[in-house]
Amino acid sequence: MENSHSASYAAAGVNIEAGYEGVRLMKAHVDRTVIPGVVSGIGGFGGLFAPDLAGMAEPVLVSGTDGVGTKQRIAQLMDKHDTVGIDCVAMCVNDIVCCGARPLFFLDYIAIGKNEPEKVASLVSGVAEGCVQAGCALIGGETAEHPGVMAADDYDLAGFSVGIVDKTKIVDHSAMKPGDVILALPSSGLHSNGYSLVRKVFDVEHADLGAYCGELGTTLGEALLTPTRIYVKPVLAALAAAEIHGISHITGGGFYENIPRCLPDGLTARIEKAALRIPPIFPMLQRMGDIPERDLFNTFNCGVGMVVIASAASADKALSALREGGCDAYPIGEIVPGEDRVVLC
């Protein structure tokens, strides 16, 4: 690559040498994610992965793709870029595990106004950390410099993951029935949804993000930038230990949009509001933004990043597995007959 240089391309605003330097700087982060099955390192035209299919009667691939959304604006304002990559991975792998699948690998895509190798490497360090937490490999990606289209300090981070599950072990929603227990997996905060509203309420372009906020116990910027929790390992443990009938990742659309995605017709998730452990960022948002309660639960996770629905007979086993996996899960309600889909009472 040392002979690769285009003065004309550089004059148009694209520094290909910066791209090579970014790859060099990110290599150590990528190496942290290597797991059995990785066939090739980064830098090729395609990422190669050989999955272990032993013990699987009918392997099914499961894919998920997402981005960080406007949360990355907080990172840009704070000039802190090493955590939003965790969000990017989380938004994909948390979706995949809802099917019962184990993520295998991840690829990222960074569109950036000006390629600063250190910034790109910092972004990828977060992606790598997310992959480590999810137990998957970072096998490739792309950085695209967009001068004249994006501001120099602007970027957009997105990616996708592929996982695998034996067809017989795909989470079976049809087995759900009244009396099944709804378990909450606590969120780390806002995760990576609703930030257009968040940025408006807190007026982040003019706020002092570095000022300590007693109500939050940290600075506003740190609270808004807290990475999305990755639930893959504890959820896979619960799937192995208990009879799980449904899993929902609580993202944009909150409770009212996401929980029904795993409910069969004729069943309703009845959730006890008094049982919810709601972090202070949510009532603060509600108060400052004058947000109606239904809108709050229809936009944000309100402290519940994922719900797992277990049979009544195995709910304790599911709780034990989740807790042993480092997730302080707790019951918040049950499945009942009805057409309302989600009821908070």
Cα 32 versus chain centre, distance: 19
Alpha-carbon gap, residue 344 to 334, rounded angstroms: 11
What would the pLDDT profile of 85-139 be if each residue is shown by its tens digit?
A: 999 999 999 999 999 999 999 999 999 999 999 999 999 999 999 999 999 999 9
**What percentage of the chain carries pLDDT values higher than 70?**
95
Q: Are strands 155-166 and 59-67 parallel, antiparallel or unpaired?
A: antiparallel
- Count the domains in the chain: 2
190 Cα distance to chain centroid: 11
> Is 191 within a domain?
yes
Q: What is the C-alpha separation between 251 and 248, in angstroms, rounded? A: 9
- Report CA dihedral (232, 237, 243, 245) to the nearest 10 degrees: 0
Would residue 190 count as lying in a domain? Answer: yes
Boundary residue ending a domain (119, 151, 169): 169
Contact by Cβ (8 Å): 268, 333: no
The answer to whether residues 150 and 206 belong to one domain is no
**Same domain, yes or no: 273 and 337:** yes
For residues 90 and 130, the answer to whether their CB atoms sit within 8 Å is yes
**283 SS3 class:** helix
Q: What are residue 277's phi and psi, to 5 degrees?
A: -100, 95
Does 83 reside within a domain? Answer: yes
Q: Which residue has the higher pLDDT, 32 or 21?
A: 32
Residue 20 confidence (pLDDT): 67
The answer to whether position 44 is within a domain reads: yes
Say if residue 145 is in the same domain as residue 211.
Answer: no
Q: Which of 94, 95, 126 is nearest to 110 (CA)?
A: 126
Are both 133 and 52 inside the same structural domain? yes
**CATH number for 157:** 3.30.1330.10
Write out the DSSP string of 219-236: EHHHHHHPPPPP-HHHHH
Q: Please check whether residue 107 lies inside any domain of the structure.
A: yes
* Domain co-membership, 35 together with 165: yes
109 in a domain, yes or no?
yes
How many C-beta neighbours within 10 Å does residue 244 have? 26
Alpha helices in 106-248 (DSSP H): 117-134, 195-202, 220-225, 232-241
Classified as helix, coil or strand, 180 is coil
What would the pLDDT profile of 37-65 be if each residue is shown by its tens digit? 999 777 788 999 999 999 999 999 999 99
Kind and range of the H or E run holding 100: none
Closest by CA to 162, choosing from 95, 235, 249, 103, is 103
- Evaluate whether residue 155 is within a structural domain: yes
Residues 165, 177, single domain; the answer is no
Residue 1 within a domain: no
Same domain, 275 and 251: yes
What gap in Å lies between CA 56 and CA 85, rounded to an integer?
31
Which CATH number goes with the domain that contains 202?
A: 3.90.650.10
Structure confidence by residue, pLDDT tens digits, 131-183: 999 999 999 999 999 999 999 999 999 999 999 999 999 999 999 999 999 99
Residues 208 and 238 in one domain: yes
Among 116, 143, 169, the domain boundary falls at 169
Residues 122 and 234 grouped into a single domain: no
**Per-residue pLDDT at 24:** 81
Tokens of 327: 């997730």
Q: Which domain holds residue 85?
A: 7-169
Q: Are residues 189 and 272 in the same domain?
A: yes
| Same-domain pairing of 284 and 222 | yes
In degrees and rounded to multiples of 5, residue 2 shows phi and psi of: -65, -20
Question: What angle, rounded to 10 degrees, do the helices at 84-97 and 117-134 form?
Answer: 30
Q: Which of 135, 160, 143 is nearest to 26 (CA)?
A: 143
User: Is 203's pLDDT higher than 80?
Assistant: yes
Q: Would you say residue 9 has pLDDT above 80?
A: no
Residue 5 clears pLDDT 70, i.e. is over it: no
CB contact burial 217-231 (16+ within 10 A = b; e otherwise): eebbbbbbbbbbbbb
Whether 100 and 58 map to the same domain: the answer is yes
Q: Which residue among 150, 169, 188 closes a domain?
A: 169
**d(Cα 113, Cα 104) in Å, to the nearest integer?**
31
* Dihedrals phi, psi of 96, to nearest 5 degrees: -60, -45
Cα gap 209→202, rounded to integer Å:
9
Strand partners, 308: 183, 247
